[in-house]
């Protein structure tokens, strides 16, 4: 049973339900794997071993007595450090929350526990989800399992790396401008950014409230589908939650490649040659299968990065104002004036990237600049949404590379924030429009680094994405195995 950690999500689910192994045996195997490789990967911020093994033992007992909570009872799942788990540290990888323990569960956590999932908290992230490389964590830099000198993507890099390195079969991340899809692409796994409002944000520590969305990452499509079916659905505690039922995989209809209209993009200078080549090869296979490829005009989406960063930073400057050393956050000045307490708590508690974004957002919301920046960005956002509506009046799905490059070296872009922001050039428009999108692996570059394809669909059409990805995956054999040793 020592090699149970090698199993992907579907194999884990099947093995548990057939009684081939127990949740406890699985959890113990995963802990051996974590202890062996996480010192190199640094995917987890803490090891809640006693908590995990207790939950696995309870699941084992339920299955032994023939009373599992669901078909998912005993399946391990990684939890990103900005998703609240009761009585657990929830630090958002920030010093300002270094001692904060959540008094409640996020809605997604409650729904997972109701089905018997075994939580593996807490995966590393960019501080307050602000970053594209997981280099902005206040505690450690997570590395890419395919090459530990490179980044895993961000901000959900800890969750993506944990799944890719077989430390958990599935994990939760959050996506504000590509933070699930981009690390999924760079780590060679599947990752879904759902339609905005289909998954509750209650208990997700907010970065940009109108953009944030929780979603799953997995080595196989089934893990994404199953977890989405559990965590989706209306939540009265979240004002932005859509009035929909949880996703029902049994109602998912198959999609034939032949006759499907697929929106595609012309390659630009930002896309690396090897990513462009892998993308083109997939399109050729789809064309040979009878799909109709429709070249779309993405020129208006070229403004998505500045629109995104004005809106996101404005919302973050408002959301993070609660971290003042009094209501939330570590108190750094116990003797000075009230203003000194605010300044010292935030100066010592927030990292450089968070401060940069707070300052930018505060500026764009300030008197005299609100209409010039934030107001215009919101108007432009409407145009982005209409652009996607126009695309889906012509095509069924839109296909693009997820990331313009494969994983870059640690430290390569930290000195140039603009170059780092451009890592999300193909993903931010999806969040601005509120539509669903998934990244799936389609191959490797010459250095053995994963390449991902982004499949975007109309609002509430996750099922169409899943069906297409399933059909495509059976044709391209997208599973990307790690090297024998993590180097």
CATH code, domain carrying 200: 3.90.1300.10
Task: Average the pLDDT over 117-145 and give the result.
Answer: 97
Flag whether 350 is in a domain.
no
**pLDDT tens digit string along 239-268?**
999 999 999 999 888 888 999 999 999 998
Structural domains in the chain (count): 1
Lowest mean pLDDT among 2-6, 39-43, 407-411, 449-453: 2-6
**pLDDT tens digit string along 29-66?**
999 999 999 999 999 999 999 999 999 999 999 999 99
Lowest mean pLDDT among 231-240, 250-259, 321-330: 321-330
Flag whether 194 is in a domain.
yes
**pLDDT tens digit string along 419-428?**
888 889 999 9
* pLDDT for 224 beyond 90: yes
Is residue 80 within 8 Å of residue 156, measured between CB atoms?
yes
Q: Give the structural domain span for 252.
A: 4-257+467-476
Highest mean pLDDT among 312-321, 336-345, 367-376: 312-321
Is residue 244 within 8 Å of residue 234, measured between CB atoms?
yes
**pLDDT tens digit string along 173-189?**
999 999 999 999 999 99
Q: State the catalytic residues.
A: 80, 155, 179
**pLDDT tens digit string along 354-391?**
999 999 999 999 888 888 889 999 999 999 999 999 99
Q: What is the number of alpha carbons within 13 Å of residue 308 lying toward its C-beta?
A: 29
Flag whether 452 is in a domain.
no
Q: Which long-range contacts (CB under 8 A, 24 or more apart) does 266-275 make?
A: 266/295, 270/404, 270/422, 270/425, 271/401, 271/404, 271/405, 272/404, 272/405, 272/406, 272/445, 274/406, 274/445, 274/446, 274/451, 275/401, 275/403, 275/404, 275/405, 275/406, 275/445, 275/451
Task: Average the pLDDT over 60-86 and give the result.
Answer: 98
Share of the chain above pLDDT 70, in %: 98
pTM: 0.95
Flag whether 178 is in a domain.
yes
For residue 77, the cross-strand partners are 119
Stretch (H or E) spanning 13: helix 9-18
3-state SS, residue 200: coil
Q: Please, what is the average pLDDT of the chain?
A: 93
pLDDT of res. 171: 98
Distance CA 318, CA 305 (A): 20
C-alpha distances in angstroms, 476 versus 86, 186, 291, 385, 443? 42, 18, 15, 31, 9
Q: Which residue has the higher pLDDT, 320 or 199?
A: 199
Spatial CA neighbour of 175 closest among 430, 440, 469, 381: 430
Flag whether 173 is in a domain.
yes
Flag whether 128 is in a domain.
yes
* pLDDT for 478 beyond 90: no
Task: Average the pLDDT over 13-28 and give the result.
Answer: 97
* pLDDT for 349 beyond 90: no
Q: Which residue has the higher pLDDT, 254 or 9?
A: 9
pLDDT of res. 484: 66
Flag whether 68 is in a domain.
yes
Flag whether 150 is in a domain.
yes
pLDDT of res. 335: 67
Distance CA 403, CA 187 (A): 11
């Amino acid at each position: 049973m020592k090699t149970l950690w090698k199993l992907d999500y579907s194999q884990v689910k099947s093995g548990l339900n057939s009684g081939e192994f127990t949740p406890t045996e699985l959890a113990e195997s995963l802990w051996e794997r974590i202890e062996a490789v996480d010192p190199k990967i640094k995917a987890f911020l803490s090891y809640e071993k006693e908590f995990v093994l207790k939950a696995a033992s309870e699941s084992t007992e339920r299955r032994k007595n023939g009373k599992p909570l669901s078909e998912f009872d005993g399946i391990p799942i990684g939890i990103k450090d900005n998703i609240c788990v009761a009585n657990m540290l929830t630090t958002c990888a920030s010093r300002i929350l270094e001692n904060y323990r959540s008094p409640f569960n996020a809605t997604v956590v409650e729904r997972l526990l109701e089905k018997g999932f075994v939580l593996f908290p807490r995966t590393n992230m960019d501080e307050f989800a602000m970053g594209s490389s997981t280099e902005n964590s206040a505690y450690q830099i997570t590395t890419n399992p395919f090459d530990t000198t490179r980044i895993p993507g961000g901000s959900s890099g800890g969750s993506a790396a944990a799944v890719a390195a077989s430390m958990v079969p599935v994990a939760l991340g959050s996506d504000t401008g590509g933070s699930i899809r981009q690390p999924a692409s760079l780590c060679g796994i599947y990752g879904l950014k759902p339609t905005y409002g289909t998954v509750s944000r209650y208990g997700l520590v907010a970065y940009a409230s109108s953009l944030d969305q929780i979603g799953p990452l997995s080595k196989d499509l089934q893990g994404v589908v199953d977890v989405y079916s559990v965590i989706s659905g209306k939540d009265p505690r979240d004002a932005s939650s859509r009035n929909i039922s949880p996703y029902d995989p049994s109602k998912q209809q198959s999609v034939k490649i032949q006759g499907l209209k697929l929106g595609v993009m012309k390659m630009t200078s930002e896309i690396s040659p090897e990513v462009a080549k892998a993308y083109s090869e997939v399109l050729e296979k789809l064309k040979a299968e009878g799909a109709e490829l429709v070249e779309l005009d993405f020129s208006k989406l070229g403004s998505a990065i500045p629109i995104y960063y004005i809106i996101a930073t404005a919302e973050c400057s408002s959301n993070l104002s609660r971290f003042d050393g009094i209501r939330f956050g570590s108190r750094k000045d116990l003797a000075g004036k009230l203003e000194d307490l605010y300044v010292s708590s935030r100066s010592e508690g927030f990292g450089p990237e968070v401060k940069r974004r707070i300052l930018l957002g505060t500026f764009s919301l300030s008197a005299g600049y609100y209409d010039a920046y934030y107001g215009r960005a919101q108007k432009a956002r409407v145009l982005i949404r209409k652009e996607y509506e126009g695309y889906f009046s012509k095509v069924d799905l839109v296909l693009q590379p997820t990331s313009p490059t494969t994983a870059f070296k640690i430290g390569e872009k930290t000195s140039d924030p603009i170059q780092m922001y451009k890592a999300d050039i193909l993903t931010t428009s999806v969040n601005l429009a509120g539509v669903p999108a998934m990244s799936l692996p389609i191959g490797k570059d010459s250095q053995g680094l994963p390449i991902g394809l982004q499949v975007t669909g109309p609002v509430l059409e996750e099922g169409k994405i899943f069906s297409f990805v399933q059909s495509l995956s059976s044709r391209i054999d997208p599973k990307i195995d790690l090297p024998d040793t993590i180097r």
